[in-house]
Structure 1
Amino acid sequence: MTPQKEDYLKAIMELGGDKQLVNNKQIGQALSVSAASVTEMSAKLLKDGLISHIPYQGVQITEKGQLVANKLIRKHRLWEVFLSEKLDFNWDEVHDEAELLEHVSSDKLIDSLDAYLGFPKYDPHGGVIPDKDGRIEVSDSRPLIELEAGSRFVIREVDDDQEFLAYLLGKGVKLSVPYLLMEVEPYEGPLTFETHDHQSYQISFKAAGKIYVQ
C-alpha cells in the first residue's frame, strides 16, 4: 500500500465516504490535487477493492478500505496526541507533522506509542482514535449551528484544518469547556456564547458549522 493510496482512502473516509458517496471535486479539494489525479487514483483503488463507484455520482469506501483508512487515521491521531501532550505543539501545528510520521510508523511502534500515551480516546481536536483493529466509535456530537439560543453545550470536536484551528486558538475557544449559547444572529450571522464566569466569545456562522458539540 503506497502512501498516496493511504492518503486518498483517509480523505474519502474523513469526507464521510463510509456512509455516503463522495465526488471527485470533494476529494480533489481535500488533497489539493487535480480532477485527473483523482480519477486515476480512484481507478486503482476500485481495482484493489478499496472503494466502490457509481458513474457521475461518486465513490464510497468499502469495508476493506475502511480498515486501511482507520488504521492510518489511528497513526495520525496518536502522533497528534504525542506532539501536543509531550512536545507542547499547539493544536494547529500537529497535523502536518503527523502526516509525515503516519506513513513511516510500523504497527508495533504505534501500539507502543498508544500504550505510552495511556491509550487516549481522542486526538487534540476531539477526533475519535480508532482501535488497533481499525474499529472506531460513532460520535453523537452535532454541529453548533443546529443549536438555539439558550442551549448549553460542550465542544467535543472541531475540524482538523490548520487555518480554522488557528482562528479558534486566537479566539480562545477550547474543547470540553461548558458554554451557554447567548445569541444566534439571523441570516447566518455570528454566534455568541459564554462560560459560567461570563467570558464571552463570538464566532462566525461558517466557523460554527465546523464545531461539533454535545
Structure 2
Amino acid sequence: MPESISKTQYLQTILELSVGDESTKISNNQIAEHLNVTPSSVSNMLAKLQEAGEVDVVPYYGVTLTKPGRATALRLIRSHRLIETFGAMKLGLSISEAHSNADNLDHDANDQFINALDKYLGFPELSPHGLVIPDIEHHYHPKSLRALREANDNETVTINSFTEDLELLQYTETLQLDLNSTWTIKERLPFDGPLVLVSGDRKLQVTQHAADFIYIND
C-alpha cells in the first residue's frame, strides 16, 4: 500500500474508532487491530502524522486528530463513501468491488466533483455497507454501535454495518451476510471458535475476529 494512502487510512481509522468524538483517545492497539498492522507500524506512522500536525499523541493514553487531521479524514471519508455508493447503486458493483475502486479514486476527486456526485445520488446518508456519509458541510454524527461479537447468546440481532475493509467485505459477501438481515446468536464454538448465527433455515458461522468489525443495531 502506498505510504500516502496509508497515512490517510490512519486518519480515517482514528476518526471512525472515535465515532466522530474529537476528545476520544484511540490506543495504538485499537488502530493496529483495525488496520491489521503491527503496533510498531502504528507508532512509526503516528510519529509522522504528529510531525505533520495531523494528530496529537499522548503517551500511554492514546491519539486524537488535530483540526487539520480531522478535516482531511472527513473529506476523504465523504469522497470514498460517495464513490462507493455510485459504484454499488449505479454501476451494479458488489460492495467489495465498489470499495476497492473507491480506494483508487477517492484521493484524487476534488470537492466540486464529490459535491456534484452527492447531488446526483440524491444526497445519500449511508454508504453501501451502512456507514454514515459526511454531508457537504462535513457534519458527521455516526451512531455508537455494538460489534456482533458483543451480542449475547440467544440474542436476536439486526446487521447494521460493516467496517471499511476489503477482506471483511469479501468475507461477508461469501457468507451472504446482508445488511439489515436478522439473526439469532445460537452458540459460540469452543476454543475461541466462531459464532453460529441462525435465521430461519439458514445457519452461518462467523469468526470472532470478523465479528469485531460487523456492527449490530442496539
**TM-score, with length taken from structure 1:** 0.82
| Structure 2: gaps (5+ residues) | none
Alignment CA distance shift 1:153-1:84 (3 Å): same
Equivalent position to 2:49, from 19, 42, 52 = 42
Alignment CA distance shift 1:12-1:184 (3 Å): same
Give 2:35's aligned residue.
30
The count of corresponding residues between Structure 1 and Structure 2 is 209
Matched, 1:21 2:23: no
Give 2:160's aligned residue.
156
**RMSD value, Cα:** 3.0
- Structure 1 residue matching 2:180: 3-state secondary structure: coil
- Structure 2 residue matching 1:189: 3-state secondary structure: coil
Contact 1:155–1:175, Cα closer than 8 Å, also in 2: yes
Contact 2:187–2:195, Cα closer than 8 Å, also in 1: yes
Give 2:126's aligned residue.
122
Identity %: 32
Matched, 1:9 2:11: yes
Equivalent position to 1:183, from 164, 179, 187 = 187
In the aligned structure 2, how far is the partner of 1:126 from the partner of 1:75?
15
| Structure 1: gaps (5+ residues) | none
Equivalent position to 1:93, from 87, 93, 97 = 97
Contact 2:85–2:128, Cα closer than 8 Å, also in 1: yes
- Deviations 1:165-191, CA, capped at 9 Å, x for gaps: 212111111101122222233442221
The alpha-carbon deviation at position 65 of structure 1 amounts to 2.3
Alignment CA distance shift 1:103-1:185 (3 Å): same
Superposition pairs of residues 195-210 of structure 1, within 5 angstroms: 195=199, 197-210=200-213
Tell me whether 77-86 or 6-15 shows the greater mean CA deviation: 6-15
Contact 1:185–1:191, Cα closer than 8 Å, also in 2: yes
- Structure 2 residue matching 1:157: 3-state secondary structure: strand
- Structure 2 residue matching 1:93: 3-state secondary structure: helix
In the aligned structure 1, how far is the partner of 2:37 from the partner of 2:151?
32
Equivalent position to 1:110, from 91, 107, 114 = 114
Contact 1:143–1:212, Cα closer than 8 Å, also in 2: yes
Alignment CA distance shift 1:166-1:64 (3 Å): same
Alignment CA distance shift 1:168-1:6 (3 Å): closer
Contact 2:147–2:214, Cα closer than 8 Å, also in 1: yes
In the aligned structure 1, how far is the partner of 2:33 from the partner of 2:211?
24
Alignment CA distance shift 1:181-1:26 (3 Å): closer
Tell me whether 167-176 or 11-20 shows the greater mean CA deviation: 11-20
**TM-score, with length taken from structure 2:** 0.81
- Structure 1 residue matching 2:95: 3-state secondary structure: coil
- Structure 1 residue matching 2:168: 3-state secondary structure: helix
